[in-house]
Amino acid sequence: MHFRYPKDSEFSSEKGLSLEWLETNGLGGYASSTITNCHTRKYHGLLVSALDSLPDKYVLLNKIEDVFIQDGDENVLTTHLYPNFLQDGSTANLQEFKLTTHPTWIFKFADIILTKEILMLQEENTILFKYSVSGDSNFKIVLRPLLSCRNFHKLQRENSHLQYNFEGLSDGFCCAPYKDMPQMFFQTNVKHSFLSQPLWYRNFVYPKEKERGYDFQEDLYSPGIMIFELGSQREIIFACGIAKQKNGLSSKWQKELDNRVKKSSAKNNNELQKQLQQVGQTFIIKKISDKQSQSVVAGYHWFLDWGRDAMIALPGLTLYSGQEDVCLAILKNFASHEHQGLIPNILGATKDTNVYNTVDASLWFVWAVQQYYLKTKNLKEITINFWPVLKNIFTFYKNGTLYNIKMQEDGLLFAGSCETNLTWMDVVVDGKPVTPRYGCQVEVNALWFNMLSFMSELAGEIQDPLKLELQQLLPQVKKSFCQTFWCEEKKYLYDFVNSDQKNSALRPNQIFAVSLPYSPLLIKMAVSVVTKVKENLLTPYGLRTLAQNEAGYIGFYNGNQAERDSAYHNGTVWPWLLGHFTEALLKVTSDQRKVLTIIEPCLEALQKHLSEYGIGSIAEIFSGDSPHQPNGCISQAWSVAEVLRLTYLLNLDK
C-alpha cells in the first residue's frame, strides 16, 4: 500500500505531530519520527541501534538539522519543538509526504522542487539520506547532525563527559562522543566541506513523554556542519553509521531500493494482507553478533524480543508468507533457552540474563510449534528439535517448577501467588499486580489442554510411551476444566479460580478455550462463550480486556504511567485478540459468510487505521470507549501477525 499525505491534508502542527513513520534494519534498530520530522518521543531518532556490548537500544543520531539555502535565503527543512515555541521549518513549503518503499518528503521553493528521502540499510546500523534538487540556479544544503548517544529509555543533557574530538575523512568525518558509545561515521558521495563547530542545542521538547508523565526535555550535541554547494550536481547521498562505508553510497542506495521494490511487487489480491506481510517483516530480526540467530521484536519503539509475544506473533508473521524456515529457526532459538520447562519471557544476551517469569510463554511456544506442524507436517524437524523440549515442559509443569507452577491433582495447572503476575495481563503498579490472577487461569489451562492433546497426537506418531500417560490424563483435564471454569449463572467461563475466589469478571481470556486447535469445552459452552465475548468485548479494533459493565472498567487509556497501567488490561482494546476471536467464531458458526459479516467492520477500521497513527502498521492498543484512540507502540508484532492470520483464516487471499 502507498501512504500519501498531500498538502491539501494540511500539515498542521497537530496533524504533523500525530503521524509517525518507521524504518527498520533487521537488527532491531530503527529510524523514526513524525511526518514533519519533529520528534515527539524520546524514542524517536534517525539511528537507533541495538548494540552487542550493551542491553536495550541506543539513540545515536537523534536528528539532522538540514537547511536549504537559495539566493541567501535559509529554509530549515526539519521541525524543532522547544518550550512554548515550534520552529516549524519549511512546513509551508512541504507539498507531500509519502511512505511507499521508504519515507519521502517533497518541498517546493518558488520553481524549485527539493526531494528528501531516507533509507536504512538492511542488517547494518547505517542510515542513508538523499537530497535531490530540480532547478537551474545554484543552491547550498547544510547538514548539522544532532547526537544523543544514550539509552532509548533515557534523556541526554549537556554534560562534561562529552569528548569534543573528531577525525576528518576523505568523504566526511567520524567522532566518538562518549567512551562507552561506538564511533560514528558521517560520509557522503559528493564534494563537500566540513566545519568543526561543536555546540549544544538545548531544551528540545517531547510532548508524548510529557503526556505520559515522564521527563520530556533533552539537549543534543552537534560536532559541526557539512556544507554542499550544488552546481551541476543535483543529488546528495549522506550516510551515518557505526561502521565506515567502503563502497559507493549511490550503489548501496540503489541496491537497497531495488530489494524493496522487488518485495513490494509480490502479487497479492488483498491489499491489507500485502501491507501487513510487508510490515510483518520488520519484527523479524537477527542478532548483530550472530546473524544466524533470529528472533522477534515485540513492538516499536520500545519493546525488545519477548518470549510470549514472539510465540503468539510467529505463526502469523511467517507461515502465511512462505517463511517456514524462518519460523523454524526462531522456534529453535527459543527452544535452546528452555530452563526447567520455561521458555524465557525476556530473551537476554545469554541464558544467564534471560528472564523466566511467565507461565504461558512455554504453552504459547507449544502452540507455535503446533502451528508449524499443521502447516508443514514436518514430523522429522518436530521430533529432532522440539519433542525433547515439549517433554521437559510437560514434566516440569506436571511435577512443579519455578513460580509455583504445578499440575494439581485434578489435572489443571496452578501458577503463581498473590504477589506474582505470570500471565499476559502482567502489569505491576507500586510492586503489586494490577490484575492479580494467580491460581488456575482460564487461558493457561486452555493452552495446557491443547498442549497435552497435541503431545498425545505426536507421541502416537513417533511411538513414544508417553502417549499412554497423556491419554489417561486428558479426560481428567477436560472434565476438571469444564467443572472448574464454567459459570452456570452467567453462561461463560470464570477468568481464574483459586482457594479464595472464582473470578467471574468478563474478560477475553476465555476465548482461547474455544479457539485453540484442541478445546476442552462442550459445544454449547463454546457457543455461549463466543456469544458473550461478541456482545460485550468486541470493538472495531479488537477485544476489550474487560466488559464495560464490570467494576474496575476504564474506558480511556491515558495519563501517567500508573494511570495507564491501571487501564492496560481493564478495558483497553487489544487487536491481537481478533485472531483467536475469529478462529473461535469459525468453530461455532457453520456459515463463513456470517463470520465475515462480523469481522469485516474490524478489517475496514484497521485498514483505515494504517494511515492514522504509526503509518502502515497496527498499534499495540486502543481505548475501550469510542472513538477508540490508538495508543502504546505504533507498530506491534502480535497486532499485525494476528490480524494477518485472521485474513487467511477467512480465505481473503482467494
In tens, the pLDDT along 609-645 reads: 999 999 999 999 999 999 999 999 999 999 999 999 9
Per-residue pLDDT at 547 = 98
Q: What is the number of H-type helices and E-type strands within the chain?
A: 17, 37
Residue range 21-41, pLDDT digits in tens: 999 999 999 999 999 999 999
- Helix crossing, 307-318 with 637-649: angle to 10°? 40
What pLDDT shows up at residue 105? 97
Question: Which residue did the predictor score with more confidence, 327 or 71?
Answer: 327
Please check the confidence at residue 8 and state whether its pLDDT lies above 80: no
CATH number of 271-649: 1.50.10.10
> Mean pLDDT lowest for which of 90-94, 133-137, 153-157, 398-402?
133-137
89-92 long-range contacts, CB within 8 A, separation 24+: 89/36, 89/37, 91/11, 91/16, 91/36
- SS3 sequence of 543-560: EECCCCCCCCCCCCCCCC
pLDDT digits (tens, 9 = 90+) for 288-311: 767 678 999 999 999 999 999 999
What backbone torsions phi and psi does residue 354 show, to the nearest 5 degrees?
A: -65, 155
Helix/strand/coil for 135: coil
Closest CA to 161 of 151, 174, 150: 150
Asked whether the whole model's pTM tops 0.85, one would answer yes
Residue type at 431? Answer: G
> With 80 as the cut, is the pLDDT of residue 108 above it?
yes
d(CA 491, CA 532): 8
CA quadruple 194, 198, 200, 204: dihedral, nearest 10: 20
- Structural fold of domain 3-264: Beta-galactosidase; Chain A, domain 5 (2.70.98)
For residues 234 and 503, what is the distance between their CA atoms, to the nearest angstrom? 68
Please check whether residue 241 is in contact with residue 127, taking contact to mean a CB–CB distance below 8 angstroms. Answer: yes
Asked if residues 278 and 264 have their Cβ atoms less than 8 Å apart, the reply is yes
Judging by beta carbons within 10 Å of its beta carbon (0-12, 13-18, 19+), is residue 80 exposed, middle or buried?
buried
Average pLDDT score over residue span 531-543: 98
DSSP 598: H
Query: For the chain, what percent of residues have pLDDT higher than 90?
Result: 87
Ramachandran quadrant class, 344 (left: phi over 0; alpha: psi -120 to 50; beta: rest):
beta
Torsion of CA 545, 546, 548, 551, to 10 degrees: -150
Distance of alpha carbon 413 from alpha carbon 400, whole angstroms: 10
| Alpha carbon distance 105, 252 (integer Å) | 20
Indicate if the pLDDT at residue 52 is higher than 70: yes
Window from 124-133, 175-184, 283-292, 438-447 with minimum mean pLDDT: 283-292
Burial class of residue 179 in the structure, from the number of CB atoms within 10 Å of its CB (0-12 exposed, 13-18 middle, 19+ buried): exposed
52 or 376, which is more confident: 376
Contact call for residues 413 and 360 (beta carbons, < 8 A): no
**Cα distance between residue 325 and residue 321, in whole Å:** 11
3-state secondary structure 567-590: HHCCCCEECCHHHHHHHHHHHHCC
| Euclidean distance between CA atoms 268 and 39, whole angstroms | 35
Please determine whether the domains at 3-264 and 271-649 fall in the same fold group of CATH: no
What are the tens digits of pLDDT across the range 465-516?
A: 999 999 999 999 999 999 999 999 999 999 999 999 999 999 999 999 999 9
CB 305 within 8 Å of CB 296: yes
Q: Position 150: which residue type?
A: R
- Give the model's confidence band at 247: pLDDT under 50 very low, under 70 low, under 90 confident, else very high: confident
Write down the pLDDT at residue 353: 86
> CA geometry: angle at 369 spanning 477 and 385, to 5°?
110
Task: Decide: 13 and 19 in contact? Cβ < 8 Å.
Answer: no
- Domain residue ranges of the chain, discontinuous segments joined by +: 3-264, 271-649
Q: Tell me the residue type at 508.
A: P
**Rounded CA separation 385/331 (Å):** 9
Residue count of the chain: 654
Q: What is the Cα–Cα distance from 469 to 407, expressed in whole angstroms? A: 14
Enumerate the H helices of 172-295 as residue ranges: 207-211, 249-264, 271-280
Q: Residue 542: what residue type? A: G
Using alpha carbons, select from 369, 307, 316 the residue that is nearest to residue 338.
Answer: 307
Instruction: Tell me how far apart the terminal alpha carbons of the chain are, to the nearest angstrom.
Output: 18
